[in-house]
Amino acid sequence: MDSIEIKIDKIYKKYPSSAQYSLKDVSLNIYKGEVIGIMGPNGAGKTTLISILCQLLPFNSGSVEFFENNKILLPKKIKQKIGFIPQELALFEELTAFQNVEYFGALYNLNKKEIIEKSTKLFEVLGLLDVAHRKVKTFSGGMKRRLNIIIGVIHNPEILFLDEPTVGVDIHSRNAILTFLKTINKKKTTIIYTSHHLEEAEQLCDRIAIIDNGEIVAIDVVSNLLSKYSTNNLTELLLKLTGKELRDNV
């Protein structure tokens, strides 16, 4: 297995408005070049954990360390290394697709030439080259999702966080997104991914961490988890480990 890229040790997180901890004693090693899925029901703590790893959210106790060549990275170096694609679309509807990419690329200190070169390749790969100069408000949901991904990877991050990247898209957009993620992973981009599409996760992920009520209840490669818990697929596994009660009111 490759070297540790992120070390999460005994993380606890409680929001000020809540009596319960959203994360409890979460420890996890993430390895260079792997695709790891963070799976669980609504309110389990998936998005909270991703937000902490992206330095968007403080935590109460524990530690998160990023490594490069076995040396701990300083916080300012981490921000240059990671990309984050949130579940909520982060787009300017009145701007064109290219103008959106241009704006976010500038935030990563890319110059105009770099933005044009990188975005042209990404627009082509993700099927948006012909509409790059159309306003985003005219885009379908799938087109917006693909543009959201382009924005998240325009600076070539070594680590990519994705929170429900294919939610609400059709089968063609989902296929384009998953194909793209597999391609960049082959180039050793580490991917940390959450999704409710369990068959998608089973296809994409090297390992799965199942989280429930803020705690990691299982983690391993998919085949080992299915064998250990005598289940046929991730849907059965998740229901077996987290129960069948409804969570959509969380």
pTM: 0.91
- CB of 98 within 8 A of CB of 119? yes
Report yes or no on 146 lying in a domain: yes
Report yes or no on 205 lying in a domain: yes
Domains of the chain: total: 1
Report yes or no on 247 lying in a domain: no
Average pLDDT of the segment spanning 10-31: 95
Residues of the chain with pLDDT > 70, as a percent, come to 97
Dump pLDDT digits (tens) for 71-100: 999 888 898 899 999 888 889 999 999 999
CATH of the domain at 189: 3.40.50.300
Residue 250 clears pLDDT 60, i.e. is over it? no
Q: Identify the band that residue 42 occupies on the pLDDT scale cut at 50, 70 and 90.
A: confident
Task: List the domain range (segments joined by +) for residue 127.
Answer: 4-242
Mean pLDDT of the chain: 92
DSSP annotation string for 16-71: TT-SS-SEEEEEEEEETT-EEEEE-STTSSHHHHHHHHTTSS--SEEEEEEEETTE
Can you read off the two tokens belonging to residue 52?
Answer: 């902490």
- CB of 166 within 8 A of CB of 11? no
Report yes or no on 84 lying in a domain: yes
Report yes or no on 248 lying in a domain: no
Report yes or no on 198 lying in a domain: yes
**The pLDDT value given to residue 200:** 86
Average pLDDT of the segment spanning 240-247: 74
Report d(CA 190, CA 181) in Å as an integer: 10
Dump pLDDT digits (tens) for 167-208: 888 888 889 999 999 999 999 999 999 988 888 888 899 999
**The pLDDT value given to residue 246:** 55
Residues of the chain with pLDDT > 90, as a percent, come to 75
